[in-house]
Amino acid sequence: MNKLISFWGKGGVGKTTLSIALTKLLAKEGFRTLYISTDIVPKNTQTFKNIENFETVFLSENEVRNLWKKRFGKEVYSVISSFLPVGEEIIDYIAGAPGISDEFSIYYIWEIWRNDTYDVIVWDTMAAGGSIRLLELESEFYSHLGEASKLYLKIKSSLESLKRKKDKDPLKLIEEWRELAKSLLSFLSSDAHDVYVVANPDSFSYGITTYLFQEFSFFGIRPKKLFLNKVISENVCQGCPALEEEKEKQRKWSTYLGEFSAQNGIEMCEIPYISGKADGDEIVEIVSESIKSCLSSSL
Ligand SMILES: Nc1ncnc2c1ncn2[C@@H]1O[C@H](COP(=O)(O)OP(=O)(O)O)[C@@H](O)[C@H]1O
Ligand SMILES: [Mg+2]
Expressed in angstroms and rounded, the spacing between residue 13 Cα and the centre of ligand 1 is: 6
Determine the Cα–Cα distance for residues 116 and 137; give it in Å rounded to an integer.
Answer: 28
Asked whether 46 lines ligand 1 (CB < 6 A), one says no
Atom of ligand 1 nearest to the CA of 275: 4
Side-chain-facing half-sphere of 123: CA atoms under 13 Å? 28
What's the confidence (pLDDT) of residue 46? Answer: 45
Between the CA of residue 211 and those of 47, 57, 205, 256, what are the distances in Å? 28, 28, 10, 14
Per the DSSP assignment, residues forming a β-bridge with 194 are 5
Which residue out of 198, 246, 279, 283 has the highest number of ligand 1 atoms within 8 Å of its CB and is therefore the one to mutate?
Answer: 283
Which residues in the chain show pLDDT less than 50? 45-46, 159
Asked whether 12 lines ligand 1 (CB < 6 A), one says yes
Length of the chain: 299
H or E element, residue 57: strand 55-58
What's the confidence (pLDDT) of residue 168? Answer: 67
Which residue out of 10, 13, 17 has the highest number of ligand 1 atoms within 8 Å of its CB and is therefore the one to mutate?
Answer: 17
pLDDT, tens digit, 9 for 90 and up, residues 134-181: 566 666 666 666 666 666 656 555 545 555 555 667 778 778 888 888
What's the confidence (pLDDT) of residue 48? Answer: 56
The CATH number of domain 3-63+99-295, selected from 3.30.930.10, 3.40.50.300, 3.60.20.10, 1.10.10.10: 3.40.50.300
Asked whether 17 lines ligand 1 (CB < 6 A), one says yes
DSSP code, position 124? E
**What is the distance, to the nearest Å, from the Cα of residue 218 to the centroid of all Cα atoms in its chain?**
16
Side-chain-facing half-sphere of 2: CA atoms under 13 Å? 11
What's the confidence (pLDDT) of residue 97? Answer: 75
Expressed in angstroms and rounded, the spacing between residue 273 Cα and the centre of ligand 2 is: 17
What's the confidence (pLDDT) of residue 165? Answer: 58
- pTM, to two decimals: 0.87
| Residue boundaries of the structural domains of the chain | 3-63+99-295
Q: Could you tell me if 275 and 283 are in contact, meaning their C-beta atoms sit under 8 angstroms apart?
A: no
pLDDT, tens digit, 9 for 90 and up, residues 191-222: 999 999 999 999 999 999 998 998 888 888 89
